[in-house]
Amino acid sequence: MTQNGETEMKLILLIFSLQFLSAIAFATEPEFKNESELGVVLTEGNTRTKNYNVKQENKYIWDQNLSKFNGQFLKSISNGIESGRYWSLGLRYERELTKEWALFLGQNIESDIFAGFRQRFNTDLGMKYLIVSTDETKWHAEAGYR
């Protein structure tokens, strides 16, 4: 990672941290949501395969704001040879403008050596439109720039 990339990542993490801390101090009825996933698939026969998947998503909602952390790790082994390894960590901030419209800013870091990159950073900026929101269905569309 270059010095520029490290400085940029530290600045973005600082901004998200300050936003999160201010949310704790000034939020009215904040809400915390968590989703965790763990998957293990082991098969034997002509080919022995092992697949491991771990996924985590945390959301913190206050007033018209949402902060989200997500992480994922995937590893695949076939006949004792590693054939896939992917991981990612991300932070995202959303600000609701109206009931249907929101702005978002996100930063993540990911790695997939089998796709040809050891590590890369992605910055996202865009808008989100809420199409349907019921207890059973949540449906939205996003447009942004990475």
* pLDDT confidence band for 7 (50 / 70 / 90): low
Q: What ranges in the chain are assigned the alpha helix state H?
A: 3-26
C-alpha torsion angle, residues 144, 86, 9, 15 (rounded to 10): 60
pTM: 0.71
Buried b (16+ CB within 10 A) or exposed e, 25-64: eeeeeeeeeeeeeeeeeeeeeeeeebbeeeeeeebbbbee
pLDDT at residue number 59: 95
pLDDT tens digit string along 85-109? 999 999 999 999 999 999 999 999 9
